[in-house]
Amino acid sequence: MAKEQPTASRGFIGRIKDLGTVFVFVAKRDKIFLPLVAGSVLLAIALGVLLFLAVGWLAIAMGVMLVVLGVLIPLSVRAMHARYVEVEANPGSAYSLVQDMRGDWRVTPAIAATTNYDVVHLVVCRAGVVLIGEGSPGALKGLIAGERRRLAKVIGSTDMRDLMVGRDEGQVPVPKLRRTLIKMPRTVSGKEVNALDKRLKALTSRPQMPKGAIPKNMRPPKGAFKAMRGGPR
């Protein structure tokens, strides 16, 4: 038993440190977090004083619990918001959020991309095939249209949807991305998801030839095609 006490103590201290780390993380990214905590703590203290006047010293423990809750409740509510703010500022935010979702979500990142960090991610799920674009709407329209044509050859009659992540009109903000995906109607069974995922991975794993003229340093030497056909050298 003596060996378990230090472990439990370290676990408790570790949790306190984790809460402190989360508190600092949220405070740096959420402007209303600290005022919200201050208001909650003041309300908890006021309730604690009223309880003290009503029942005496027995209310001290309850007052302390109310103050702790006054910190933990705003922290739990605003922590997810702070995470969205942090993730939204970085490229690949949609991919990281969908990848962490619970359930059967098969995500393949950046099946199409530009040098300006415009990317299209592929999601295979119970709703079918979903293409998620991040970046400039003008560039994404062409990328998504090209991927729709390419994937349509493989998925058959399976539902295919696309959406763009962002704050402009017609786009889906990062904080609403999970909800948007979850609300999509489920039209594909679990077995169909597995089969569909295998076919699409085989397709997306094939290297695509770049558009435009082939660079000179990549062209075969003159006469190579004749040699391959067995023609005169």
Give Cα 169 to chain centroid, integer Å.
21
User: pLDDT at position 225, please?
Assistant: 37
Inter-residue contact 66 to 47 (CB < 8 Å):
yes
User: pLDDT at position 217, please?
Assistant: 44
Instruction: Kindly give the confidence (pLDDT) of every residue in the chain, 233 residues in length, as a single tens digit, with 9 standing for 90 and above.
Output: 444 455 445 577 878 888 888 888 888 878 888 898 999 999 989 988 888 888 878 778 888 898 899 889 888 888 877 776 666 656 677 888 888 888 889 999 999 999 888 999 999 999 999 999 998 999 999 999 999 999 998 998 999 999 999 888 889 988 889 899 999 999 999 899 999 999 998 887 754 444 444 444 444 445 443 443 455 54
The span from the CA of 106 to the CA of 122, in Å, is 8
Give Cα 110 to chain centroid, integer Å.
14
What's the number of CA atoms in the CB half-sphere (13 Å) around residue 225? 3
Tokens of 61: 């423990």
User: pLDDT at position 210, please?
Assistant: 42
Instruction: Assign residue 222 a region (left: φ > 0; alpha: ψ between -120 and 50; beta: otherwise).
Output: beta
What's the number of CA atoms in the CB half-sphere (13 Å) around residue 31? 0
What secondary structure does DSSP assign to 94-151, as a single string? HHHHHHTSSSS-EEEEEEEE-TTS-EEEEEEETTEEEEEEES-HHHHHHHHHHHHHHH
